[in-house]
A and B are shown apart, each in its own frame.
Chain A
Amino acid sequence: MSGDGDLPPVMLPSGRTLREPAARAEAKAPAAPPLLELRGLSVEFPTRRGTVEAARNINLVVNAGEVVGLVGESGAGKSTIGNAVIDLLERPGRVSAGSVRFEGEEIRGRTEAEMRRIRGDRIGMIFQDPQTSLNPLMTIGDQLAETIAKTTGLRGPAALARAAELLQQVGIGEARARLKSWPHEFSGGMRQRVVIALALAGDPDLIIADEPTTALDVSIQAQILDLIKALCRERKLGVIIVTHDIGVIAEIADRVAVMYRGEIVEEGPVAQILGAPRHEYTKSLIAAVPRADRKLHRFASVDYIEGGASAARRIDIANHWLGRSESPKGTGVAVEIEHLNLSFVLQKALLKKNRRMLKAVNDVSLTIREGETFGLVGESGSGKSTVARLLAGLYRPDSGMIRVLGQDVVTNPRAPEARRARRALQMIFQDPYSSLNSRMKVLDIVAEPIRFYRTTGSEEETRRVVADLLDHVGLGAAAALRYPHEFSGGQRQRISIARALASRPRILICDEPTSALDVSVQATILNLLKDLQEELGLTMLFISHDLPVIRQMCDRVAVMRHGAICETAETEQLFAAPQHDYSKHLLGLMPSMELLGPTGL
């Protein structure tokens, strides 16, 4: 599927293009060289601890009208390749070998002035974060006009007219009026459209999109991917899309190259790579992708990636310290939340009527049964994390009732019974980098609740328990003497889990525990959580924006939007037959995983 088939007529930008369509047609003739050809490209970063080869011997071809996906996990070197093509490598990185041919011409080693002309004019870039790739002090129109002036020489009203036209093309209505808007007046998705319009301003032949949808919600992700795909088809653009997300690849790419530790391990048509991968890494990567179409008991072996995680040593829960919880016995219901409300003040004012409030949590009621995994799903800003923080006692509700193991924890949160109930409830946070105190050793981090509540008889026993816990989460007891910064994101999340377990909780709140992690690491962490739940009989509140993850983890799910719960249902029932319109909408936005074969299931 190269995109050369029957397509809608090419949408020409108002005849002011610098290159005529004829020239494009010529470039596509069979004899013509491919749009972009990388041969043996290597990039290295000299550091004081030796030279790091970020990319090794990369061979890649991009043709006009084709979307090539570059997929890999963090540190695989996929962004480095995109930056190397347009000579925007972060210092002190440099291309050490190989060639970059653009329309048959070598562009490696050009001067900065020449490269600047190629960037924008011939090759457009779309970056990850639309918040930071627009200048907040310039109107949308001015930013577009500036780029247009640089690349096409159009000025004044002509440039603004072209800017409006570009906005129209990326699907922004009332484009003329929007030219006077400021970036902060646009939503994230709209901003990313403007960034795409900026990339198109010079009428480029190739677009490099570096994680273009990672910072966006699913509903907006789908729109942006559709837009990029349509632009590629209509304007015969070559597109390189750099992403860590197999779902995005399945959605948009024609061909895909899989990167692992600086090398392309496998490359081919997307159906073949996703459906029948050959390389071991690709196989385990795809096995680690949470599937939306079926529920698995555990993720299949994903050992290829996180070799550091040693097999968890089993401990005899019944006789171990971990099994002797002091928390009150429940009555079959772990958590009851009734008519919970919380508003944040957006704008302070003396008079009540002038205050602007945001209803972060709006009349939320839910019941979590003992031993089940309850999912909360919704887009960013839906209030799901706020519910978790209310339950954990980090915020106090404006009104409503929370009962943990039958104990009211809202009316008098300082009462000893309320405190004891809260101790049965622990939380795992999203960001593995900020959720551990970098000044404390892992031993002290994990031992903190044990030492504070004196739940062991002696310091010696505390150390033994910490060692067991670290063993149990797959880190190994030796990790206790190290500092958190020495560990990778997945390993840190294991430390977080060990710390939560050190309170001997009955209920575990997981607030997007894996959304900052690579997909393979995510699979190992989700497996660990599943194992722990089975062994310890934990109740879990699992919060995620990622529907496939929810399907793998949860027994029941509540869908949240604008601070309120739209629908609560058994997971299988929700995925099979959603009742609420918003649930249907959300489910419809999931990237289709039909291409993924049964590898590793």
Chain B
Amino acid sequence: MSAVEPRVDPAAKPPSAWARLRESDVFHSFVSTPSAMIAAAFTVIAILACFAAPLIAPFNPFDPAQISLWDGKLPPAWVEGGQAQYVLGTDNQGRDMLSTILYGGRLSIIVGMAAVGLGMVLGVGLGVIAGYVGGALDAVIMRIADVQLTIPGILLAILINGIGRAFLPPEIREEFAIYVVIIAIGLTDWPQFARVARGATLVEAQKEYVQAARVIGLPGWLIMLRHILPNTLRPVLVIATIGLALAVIAEATLSFLGQGIPPTTPSLGTLIRVGNEYLFSGLWWITLFPAIALVVLVFAVNLLGDWMRDALNPKLR
């Protein structure tokens, strides 16, 4: 079946960006996939809630003036002995669980996004260069990626994290822990992005618009930046979304193992670890609620990534 070609009147007013989005197949796929909409809603609410933590959280868990050890280890409000002001109870230091989860979630999301951003910039950059230049450079970059992929990601992250901490002077170690974690997870992430970006680059570089740019005489870096990079971003976006979920988990794992964010400014992973110590003394809420928050966040982001992979893949449409 020959498709009906678009025939536009060039003189007509071009549609606005919003109108283009409304008309796009991706938008249509989104509004006709309930799971994607629910996942997006959860993701957006979770991210907004975490970033608005200072505004909406009932307490500031980092403000010693608001913490009272007398209120420590209180159960959730609906359990006997709970207090109405601490909806989800308090932890061992008397911090409100709900506030701590919101602040901790914010930290987890920031670390995840920054780590994915680092991995993406590194991986996509190297992948596009490898794919476009080819030859020995391609072989070297991709073999490094292959070797790194044979090592389990979390082990590598622990290793990089450990080395990073060892190089920091002890007095600033706590303060810079978050950056070390970001670098550790980001460096673990990049081969995925490199592979996807290289594959897409190989396809795009064959296309005639790239040849046209070469005939114009544009230098290689400009062709990569302006022509190839924008056209490889679709699959990269999918990887990045799923990668965000994985990075949040990686951060939680590191923190749970005591290698990540220190308990003074807890992330979700740190909260779960701290709560874990009290689990057998019956203080289940300290570990359960952060865990639920983590699972919901990761699940929603993952679901969104799954939908994106299908919607952005022209072969499945």
Q: A interface vs B, CB < 8 Å? A: 48, 52, 54, 74-76, 78-80, 83, 89-90, 93, 308, 310, 389, 392-394, 419, 422-423, 425-427, 429-431, 434-440, 448-449, 452-453, 470, 475-476, 478-479, 481-482, 485-489, 491, 496, 499, 503
Residue B1 CB within 8 A of the other chain? yes
If A48-B28, A75-B2, A489-B5 touch, whether A436 touches B209 (CB-CB below 8 Å) is yes
Q: Is there contact, CB below 8 Å, between A90 and B1?
A: yes
**CB-defined A-B contacts under 8 Å, sample of 15:** A75-B2, A75-B3, A76-B2, A389-B211, A392-B215, A394-B215, A419-B217, A422-B217, A427-B211, A434-B208, A439-B230, A452-B217, A475-B10, A481-B14, A486-B14
Interface string of B8-28 (1 = CB under 8 A from A): 111111100000000000001
Q: Which residues of B contact A487 (CB under 8 A)?
A: 6, 8, 10
Give the most central of A394, A437, A452: most B CB within 10 Å: A437
Q: A423–B216 Cα gap in the complex (Å)? A: 7
Q: Which residues of A contact B222 (CB under 8 A)?
A: 452
Residue B231 CB within 8 A of the other chain? yes
Interface residues on B, range: 20 to 34
Q: A107–B267 Cα gap in the complex (Å)? A: 69
Q: A448–B227 Cα gap in the complex (Å)? A: 11
Q: B interface vs A, CB < 8 Å? A: 1-14, 28, 207-209, 211-218, 222, 226-227, 230-231
Q: A488–B5 Cα gap in the complex (Å)? A: 6
If A426-B215, A487-B6 touch, whether A435 touches B1 (CB-CB below 8 Å) is no
| Chain B, Cβ-Cβ closest to A244 | B2
- Pick the contact of B10: A90, A93, A389, A478 (CB < 8 A): A478
| Chain B, Cβ-Cβ closest to A494 | B10
If A75-B3, A308-B10, A478-B12 touch, whether A437 touches B227 (CB-CB below 8 Å) is yes
Q: Is there contact, CB below 8 Å, between B208 and A435?
A: yes
Q: Is there contact, CB below 8 Å, between B10 and A479?
A: yes
Whole-angstrom distance between the Cβ of B129 and the nearest chain A Cβ: 19
Q: A76–B8 Cα gap in the complex (Å)? A: 17
- Pick the contact of A431: B2, B28, B208, B231 (CB < 8 A): B208
Whole-angstrom distance between the Cβ of A341 and the nearest chain B Cβ: 21
Whole-angstrom distance between the Cβ of A172 and the nearest chain B Cβ: 30
If A426-B215, A431-B208, A448-B213 touch, whether A439 touches B231 (CB-CB below 8 Å) is yes
Give the most central of B3, B28, B207, B231: most A CB within 10 Å: B207
- Pick the contact of A74: B2, B14, B211, B218 (CB < 8 A): B2
Q: A15–B26 Cα gap in the complex (Å)? A: 57
Given contacts A452-B222, A503-B216, 12 further A-B contacts (CB under 8 A): A54-B1, A75-B4, A90-B1, A394-B214, A427-B212, A429-B208, A435-B211, A448-B218, A452-B217, A486-B8, A487-B10, A488-B7
| Chain B, Cβ-Cβ closest to A262 | B4
Q: Which residues of B contact A423 (CB under 8 A)?
A: 217
Q: Is there contact, CB below 8 Å, between A482 and B218?
A: no
Whole-angstrom distance between the Cβ of B197 and the nearest chain A Cβ: 15
| Chain B, Cβ-Cβ closest to A425 | B215
Q: Which residues of A contact B3 (CB under 8 A)?
A: 74-75
Q: A452–B7 Cα gap in the complex (Å)? A: 31
| Chain B, Cβ-Cβ closest to A509 | B215
Q: Which residues of B contact A52 (CB under 8 A)?
A: 4
Give the most central of B5, B12, B227: most A CB within 10 Å: B5
Q: Is there contact, CB below 8 Å, between A476 and B11?
A: yes
Q: A487–B10 Cα gap in the complex (Å)? A: 8
Q: Which residues of A contact B11 (CB under 8 A)?
A: 310, 476, 478
Q: A173–B7 Cα gap in the complex (Å)? A: 48
Whole-angstrom distance between the Cβ of B135 and the nearest chain A Cβ: 13
| Chain A, Cβ-Cβ closest to B8 | A486
Q: A74–B5 Cα gap in the complex (Å)? A: 8
Q: Which residues of A contact B226 (CB under 8 A)?
A: 440
- Pick the contact of A435: B2, B7, B9, B212 (CB < 8 A): B212
Q: A93–B3 Cα gap in the complex (Å)? A: 12
Q: Which residues of A contact B5 (CB under 8 A)?
A: 74-75, 488-489
Q: Is there contact, CB below 8 Å, between B214 and A482?
A: no
Q: A90–B2 Cα gap in the complex (Å)? A: 11
Q: Which residues of B contact A448 (CB under 8 A)?
A: 213, 216, 218
